[in-house]
């Protein structure tokens, strides 16, 4: 009799394990997808860094007046092409105070992109949002005025080189 009870318990254990295994096989995790804000922010920073690298390597660009760098002159990391970047991305290099140059880069970005990008890049205060004729950062609010032509609502980065 004891062997019969033990046999039934073993069979029920295997049935239970099989049921658990079936339920767990149905819980397939969703494919990981990067949030749109994070992906847009990373693409934006790749573009911004390429524009800054170009400006640093070409010290005369923007010293005599406003200039923009065409995408074909930018160098991107392996696997990144201009076609990978968000539509509407742009840049402007202007003369700044004391012989410096100001490098503006911008791109359309969904809500949350600025805050997510600032966080991902260690609190980078050069990143904000263009709002009319000024730009704002999450940490410091209004940072200054913008040159004409930068679309209001776009994510923006403003970096001064030299001076």
Check: CB of residue 117 under 8 Å from CB of residue 127.
yes
Residue 24 has pLDDT above 80, yes or no: no
Query: Which positions ≥6 away from 85 have C-beta within 8 Å?
Result: 43, 46, 47, 71, 107
Which class would CATH give 36-161?
Answer: alpha beta
Residue 37 has pLDDT above 50, yes or no: yes
Of 1-10, 83-92, 126-135, the range with the highest mean pLDDT is 126-135
Predicted model pTM = 0.76
Check: CB of residue 115 under 8 Å from CB of residue 138.
yes
Task: Read off the pLDDT band of 11 (50, 70, 90).
Answer: very low
pLDDT at position 31 is 38
Report d(CA 52, CA 5) in Å as an integer: 77
pLDDT > 90 fraction of the chain, expressed in percent and rounded:
66
Residue 158 β-bridge partners: 104
Q: Which two tokens stand for residue 140?
A: 């410091």
């Amino acid at each position: 009799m004891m062997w019969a009870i033990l046999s039934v318990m073993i069979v029920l254990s295997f049935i239970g394990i099989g049921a658990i295994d079936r339920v767990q096989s149905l819980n397939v995790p969703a494919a990981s997808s990067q949030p749109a804000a994070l992906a847009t922010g990373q693409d934006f920073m790749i573009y911004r860094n390429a524009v800054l690298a170009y400006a640093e390597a070409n010290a005369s660009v923007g010293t005599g007046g406003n200039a923009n760098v065409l995408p074909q002159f930018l160098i991107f990391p392996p696997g990144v092409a201009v076609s990978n970047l968000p539509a509407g991305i742009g840049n402007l290099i202007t003369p700044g105070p004391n012989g410096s140059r100001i490098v503006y880069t911008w791109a359309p970005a969904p809500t949350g992109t600025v805050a997510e990008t600032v966080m991902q890049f260690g609190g980078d205060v050069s990143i904000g949002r263009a709002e009319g004729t000024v730009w704002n950062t999450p940490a410091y609010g209004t940072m200054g005025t913008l040159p004409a032509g930068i679309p209001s609502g776009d994510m923006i980065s403003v970096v001064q080189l030299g001076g």
